[in-house]
Structures are given as structure tokens and as C-alpha cells.
Chain A
Amino acid sequence: MSSNHPTAEDLVAHLDGELAAEVATGVAAHVTACDTCRHETDLLRASAALLSRLPARQPSSDFTQRVLAAAREESAAPRGLLRFPRPLLQAAAALLIAAAGFAAWSLRGANDAPITPGGDETAVVLTQEEEEAIAREMLLLGALEFLEDAETDELKLLVEDLDVLDALAAEDPDPRSGG
């Protein structure tokens, strides 16, 4: 028996007619002469032939009309955020608000004294609360821009992440508690 058996990849590619001519010739000659490889090839060929018996499925008679109707509905819908399903938007908004809240919370300093720019009497003095509110606004604006550009599947992944956030919040609502 030959010790240079073709690999399984070569046998499958050979059956599929995907081997280069010179390689195919060599594999064919080996399979003819080698009982083991010929048996393996026969099983691969027979099993592949059986696969073709899995029936096909024709589209229903109104499939085209349903697709065109859905496409018309999409093109008629307001552009931007409102093209996404409402529950998905609500879930994504909840996720982003939660993320914005966490980010704002993490901006808290050791004290809540107003932050005063050094030495300029005309500078606007913002309290810590005002700083946090601005940070939340900026995060939300960024999130809204993301939603505008995101594909539906990305939003679905975001919705799935909501479960993860809920689980994290249940474990430790205040990550700084040290608990």
C-alpha cells in the first residue's frame, strides 16, 4: 500500500473538480491503486450525492409583492432614527442613557466644589452638576450620531448588551461602594 495517501482535502477537492490538472492526475492514479483511499472516496461521493436529495423551497407566490411593499414602506419612512423599530430605539436609548449616566457618575470628583478656571474673573464658573449635565448631553449627542449611522444588526447587538448591563447593575449598583 502506498504511503503517500492524498489528504482528505485533496480527495474532496478532487471530487469537486477543484484540483489543478497535474495534482488531479496524481490523486486519481493513487485512488485507483489504493483500496483504502478508493473506499474513502466512494463514501465521500455517495454521501455528497445524497445531499442533493434535500428538497428545495420555492418562494410563495406573493413573495415579490411583499418585498416590494416592504421596500416602499422603508423608502417612505422618515430618514434617520425613525427608520428603526420603536422598541429597538427605546432599548438602544435606554442603554446609551445608562452608559451616559455611568460616565457622568464616574466624573464625580472627591468634592463637589465648583470648578473655577484659574485666575480669570470673566470665566464662566460651572458647578459639578452642570459639568455632569454637559457630559451627559455630549454623550447622548454622540450616541444619536452613532444611531444614525448604525446598521440594524449593530443595534440588535446593543439590545443584547442591555441584558449584560442589567446583570452588572444588579450585582453592584454603585461600583464605588467597595462592596
Chain B
Amino acid sequence: MLAFQSGDESAFAEIVRRFQGRIVSLAYRYLGSSADAEDLAQEVFLRVYRAKDKYERSARFSTWIYRIASNASLNHIRGRKVRRRVSAEMPTGHDGEELSIFEDAEAPQPHDALEKDELAEVLRRIIDELPERQRLAIVLNKYEDLSYEEIAQTMELSMMAVKSLLTRARVNIKEKLVPYLQSGAFDA
């Protein structure tokens, strides 16, 4: 990144190669769409390109790029909600945050043995139903292996707020998966 700041354009290409896997995966797990994930990931790297002069040497680059990716992800979700122009009132969770709308009513039932793709679909739905910040915290913690402190720096929240977000997300996920766990639909 320092080389890029100094004018070495090839350094930017190296940044993209090193981080594309993580950023595309983060975007995919957060948004659930391959096409959206690559669009979002491209936007993240373009923001890095535009904002290179704003990067401070004292900050870890991975934290900085994750922060850009987090902000872009949240903006994307909020923009998606505006574009949908949902007329019905959005359902809210216990903390008042909006939940995504369940568009496909044909979900596999917990008592059925699930194929691998069906399992992924169930997990995808559960993650999509999380409020946007809980979803982001879970993706950063479970899939990007960020510590609570790193998540706090990335999302620019306090440690207490991160713990609260992750706890609510994990409890939400557990409650939705309990029927599947108890029925044995998922092999151990």
C-alpha cells in the first residue's frame, strides 16, 4: 500500500490479487449473490484506489480494506432496500432493526434430510434474515476470522457493541437452527 501511495501502480494490482479472494468471499456471504458480490468487491477496490492518500501508515491495511468493504456492504444493502420500494411495512427484529423479506416460501422442512445444497440454502436464508449489522458482524467473525477487537475497528464500534451484535446474531441463528438440529436433518 505504501508503494501504491508513492505512485507504484503495479502495487495496486498486487493489492487486488492478494485480497480479491477475501473481499469477494465476504461480499458473497454478506449479499448471497455471486453477481452482486463481484460488483461490490470491484467497488471496494475502486474505493481503495481513489482513497489511497487517505490510508495512514499506522493502521493495518487489512483493517482498512475491511472497513471499506463493510461500509460498502452496508450501503449496498440500504440501497437495495430503497430500490425495492417495498410497500408493506418491513418486519422488525427485537432490537427494532429491519429484517430482510423472505421472498421464497418454499423452504425445506426441518424433518427432511437435507442435501448439501439445501443446507446451504437454509444457512443462506438464516443469514439473510439477520439485521444488516448483525449479519456483517457474523460474516467478519465466522468467515473472515476477525477477533472482536478487529471487528470493532472495522465496524468502528465499541467492544461492548460488537459483543452485543454477535450475541444477538448467534442467538438468532441458534433459534432458527434448533429445529434442524433436533430433527437430525443435518448430519453431525
In addition to A47-B174, A58-B21, 12 A-B residue pairs with Cβ atoms within 8 Å of each other are A43-B181, A46-B181, A47-B177, A51-B142, A51-B173, A56-B143, A57-B29, A58-B25, A63-B16, A68-B12, A71-B46, A75-B49
Question: Chain B residues with Cβ under 8 A from A56's Cβ?
Answer: 25, 28-29, 143
**Any chain B CB within 8 A of the CB of A150?**
no
Given contacts A12-B167, A13-B163, A58-B21, is CB(A48)–CB(B38) below 8 Å? Answer: no
Q: Closest chain A residue to B141 by CB distance?
A: A16
Instruction: Determine if A43 and B148 form an interchain contact, defined as CB atoms under 8 angstroms apart.
Output: no
Q: How far is the CB of B129 from chain A (nearest CB, A)?
A: 13
A: number of interface residues (CB 8 Å)? 34
Instruction: Determine if A52 and B142 form an interchain contact, defined as CB atoms under 8 angstroms apart.
Output: yes
Within 8 A of B (CB), among A88-129: none
Show 27 A/B contacts (Cβ-Cβ < 8 Å), sorted by A: A8-B171, A12-B166, A12-B167, A12-B170, A16-B166, A18-B163, A43-B174, A43-B178, A46-B177, A46-B181, A47-B174, A50-B177, A50-B181, A51-B127, A52-B142, A53-B123, A54-B120, A54-B124, A57-B34, A58-B24, A63-B16, A64-B13, A64-B20, A68-B16, A70-B46, A71-B12, A71-B46
Question: Chain B residues with Cβ under 8 A from A47's Cβ?
Answer: 170, 173-174, 177-178, 181
B: number of interface residues (CB 8 Å)? 46
A18 and B170 alpha carbons, distance in the complex (Å): 15
A68 and B13 alpha carbons, distance in the complex (Å): 7
Partner of B50, one of A48, A74, A160: A74
Question: Chain A residues with Cβ under 8 A from B147's Cβ?
Answer: 18
Interface residues of B (CB under 8 A from A): 12-13, 16-17, 20-21, 24-25, 28-29, 34, 37-38, 41-42, 45-46, 49-50, 75, 79, 82, 116, 119-120, 123-124, 127, 138, 141-143, 147-148, 163-164, 166-167, 170-171, 173-174, 177-178, 181, 186
Question: Chain B residues with Cβ under 8 A from A22's Cβ?
Answer: none
Instruction: Determine if A57 and B24 form an interchain contact, defined as CB atoms under 8 angstroms apart.
Output: yes
Given contacts A12-B166, A12-B170, A58-B21, is CB(A50)–CB(B42) below 8 Å? Answer: no
A13, A44, A67: most-surrounded residue (chain B CB, <10 A) = A67
Given contacts A18-B147, A46-B181, A51-B123, is CB(A63)–CB(B20) below 8 Å? Answer: yes
